[in-house]
């Protein structure tokens, strides 16, 4: 980008009011340079190379400047606050789709907590799961229950509450810590696992797409062209589903024993958070596709066929790997 273009952006676009209160750059993307005051500008990953870029309006055009070149292009000192913030943009875009100047830095980068919210139902599922583990630990046969109806039944049983309190006392004695410390750590791990349950819930929408493709393959079995394309889509999506299933199975296995969780509490929290962030990042690319399939009636017709075209393009763009198929008639 030329200096002339930079000057045009600085003079033609709105500049933030100098009277605005300066935000703390340790928790906000509070840039100082004028290039970051351009109205409507934002950071985002490119669709093709997934490179972090700064998008700005250039009259009727929109320019995409690679983040790594901004310091050199606009004379930003390498040891400045702006340069430090720019160095975090790539990591921050793993957690949000878009960043605008003065947005808050994702909490994942600040303290490790999640920057996205979950519902109370997911917290209750996580609490029910740990409750079952505590009660089953008492009997010497610890297990994980993920069925929501079963979790509610066990959790609401009056006898369960007394068994949980007894489990707290026995665990505290075995670990040589206070009962209150056990309760606090259990509450903390429930809060962390609630995000896994929220992601598990969201994953059901991705898995439903795979199921819908199987159902449509049966409906379109006499349509050679569509049948072949559905087969290709299934080949593309199957490894994705298996990888997701494996990730959930692994985190369930790593959090299936209460005593292990409490003995190695911080490493367990770190593992849950790494898995949470990994799944969340992998799910971000699916957001529009899950919404597109939501509520679709599985039947032959132009609406479904248009959606199949979009789905094939999406799968080929994101999960083609070593396959060399072409979109053909799609």
Domain span holding position 9: 3-110
CA 87 to CA 80: how far, in whole Å? Answer: 11
Q: Final residue of a domain: which of 55, 80, 110?
A: 110
Q: pLDDT 10s digit of each residue in the chain, 330 long?
A: 444 344 444 433 433 343 356 789 999 999 999 999 998 999 999 887 889 999 998 777 788 999 999 999 999 999 999 999 999 999 999 999 999 999 999 999 999 999 999 999 999 999 988 988 888 887 766 666 666 677 677 667 777 788 888 889 999 999 999 999 999 999 999 999 999 999 999 999 999 999 999 999 999 999 999 999 999 999 999 999 999 999 999 999 999 899 999 999 999 999 999 999 999 999 999 999 999 999 999 999 999 999 999 999 999 999 986 444 444 444
Residue 57: predicted pLDDT: 84
Three-state DSSP class for 321?
coil
CB 220 within 8 A of CB 227: yes
Residue 301 covered by a domain: yes
- 43 with 184, same domain: the answer is no
CB atoms within 10 A of CB 113: 13
Kindly state whether residues 171 and 281 are assigned to the same domain. yes
Q: Are residues 34 and 170 in the same domain?
A: no
Q: Same domain, yes or no, for 89 and 147?
A: no
Let me know whether 283 and 236 are in one domain: yes
pLDDT at 45: 92
| Number of neighbours of residue 52 by Cβ within 10 angstroms | 21
Last residue of a domain, one of 110, 137, 162: 110
CA distances from 102 to 31, 32, 73, 83, 93 (A): 7, 10, 21, 15, 15
Locate 180 and state its tokens: 């209150």
Number of domains in the chain: 2
Q: Write down which residue in 84, 110, 136 finishes a domain.
A: 110
Residue 327 lies in a domain: no
- Is the domain of 98 the same as that of 135? no
Is 325 among the domain residues?
A: no
């Amino acid at each position: 980008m030329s200096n002339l273009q930079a000057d045009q952006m600085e003079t033609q676009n709105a500049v933030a009011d100098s009277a605005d209160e300066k935000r703390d750059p340790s928790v906000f993307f509070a840039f100082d340079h004028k290039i970051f005051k351009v109205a409507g500008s934002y950071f985002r990953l490119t669709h093709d190379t997934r490179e972090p870029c700064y998008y700005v309006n250039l009259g009727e055009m929109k320019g995409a400047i690679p983040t790594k070149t901004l310091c050199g292009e606009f004379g930003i000192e390498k040891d400045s606050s702006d340069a430090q913030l720019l160095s975090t943009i790539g990591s921050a875009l793993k957690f949000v789709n878009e960043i605008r100047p003065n947005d808050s830095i994702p909490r994942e980068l600040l303290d490790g907590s999640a920057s996205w919210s979950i519902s109370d139902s997911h917290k209750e599922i996580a609490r029910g799961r740990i409750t079952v583990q505590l009660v089953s630990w008492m009997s010497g046969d610890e297990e994980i229950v993920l069925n929501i109806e079963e979790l509610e039944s066990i959790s609401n049983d009056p006898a369960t509450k007394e068994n949980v309190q007894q489990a707290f006392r026995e665990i505290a004695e075995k670990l040589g810590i206070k009962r209150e410390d056990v309760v606090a750590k259990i509450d903390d791990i429930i809060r962390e696992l609630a995000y896994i349950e929220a992601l598990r819930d969201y994953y059901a929408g991705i898995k439903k797409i795979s199921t819908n493709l199987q159902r449509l393959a049966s409906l379109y079995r006499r349509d050679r062209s569509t049948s072949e394309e559905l087969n290709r889509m299934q080949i593309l999506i199957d490894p994705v589903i298996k990888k997701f299933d494996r990730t959930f199975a692994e985190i369930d296995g790593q959090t299936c024993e209460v005593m292990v969780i409490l003995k190695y509490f911080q490493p367990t929290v770190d593992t849950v958070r790494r898995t949470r962030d990994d799944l969340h990042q992998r799910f971000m690319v699916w957001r529009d596709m899950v919404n597109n399939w939501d509520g679709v009636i599985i039947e032959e017709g132009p609406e479904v066929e248009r959606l199949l075209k979009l789905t094939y393009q999406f799968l080929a763009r994101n999960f083609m790997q070593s396959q060399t198929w072409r979109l053909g008639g799609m």
